[in-house]
Amino acid sequence: MKNLQWKVEQLPDEKRLVVLTGAITEDADLRTLAAMDGPGELAFDLAGVDQINSCGVREWILFVRKLADAERTFELVRCSPAIVRQLNTIANFRGSGSVRSVMLPYYCPSCRNEVHHPLELGPGASKEIPEDAPCPKCGGTMEFDDMPATYGSFSS
Ligand SMILES: [Zn+2]
């Protein structure tokens, strides 16, 4: 299990994108991340978070609570299937943040390739989940590999 890492990118409009990768566990240093100062809105890119354990869930909830206490505006973008699972089962997982987009998992039965495609959830987005997608590796048909209802159900 790869420990959580992040890098911060400056976006226009004083917005900052924090790209997180790895696993969220008791070893994830989310306190440092919560203490990050500076003005502007934060967006957390969670496409690279492949695992989160029960201690990690607790750390994450403390983290979003700290952001709320500090009156920081934030959004969750490109939420990985591991994150979507938590968003669906734990009511306060996203805290005061809004869920802007999720990553849809596709699996290729011919070559066992796995690919994640982003789905926008913002206002005006279609929120339509394609049942299949072309496999970039073998040209076969990839199938949506989860329960569609859990991916389009976030109101932001
Ligand atoms: Zn394939």
Segments of the chain scoring below 70 in pLDDT: 155-156
**Domains in the chain, start-ordered, CATH in brackets?**
5-104 (3.30.750.24)
**Could you report the per-residue pLDDT of 33-68, keeping only the tens digit for each?**
998 887 789 999 999 999 999 999 999 999 999 999
Predicted confidence at residue 14, as pLDDT, reads 86
Predicted confidence at residue 37, as pLDDT, reads 80
Ligand 1 center–CA 131 separation, angstroms: 15
CA distance 18 to 16: 6
Q: Write the secondary structure of 28-87 as one string of H (helix), E (strand) and C (coil).
A: CCHHHHHCCCCCCCEEEEEEEEEEECHHHHHHHHHHHHHHHHCCCCEEEECECHHHHHHH
Ligand 1 center–CA 107 separation, angstroms: 8
> In the chain, what percentage of residues exceed pLDDT 70?
99
Ligand 1 center–CA 1 separation, angstroms: 26
Predicted confidence at residue 155, as pLDDT, reads 58
Backbone angles phi, psi at 59, to 5 degrees: -60, -40
Residue ranges near ligand 1 (ion) with Cβ within 5 Å: 108, 110-111, 113, 135, 137-138, 140
Among 91, 116, 121, 112, CA closest to 103: 116
Percent of the chain that is helix, strand, coil (3-state, to 5):
20, 35, 45
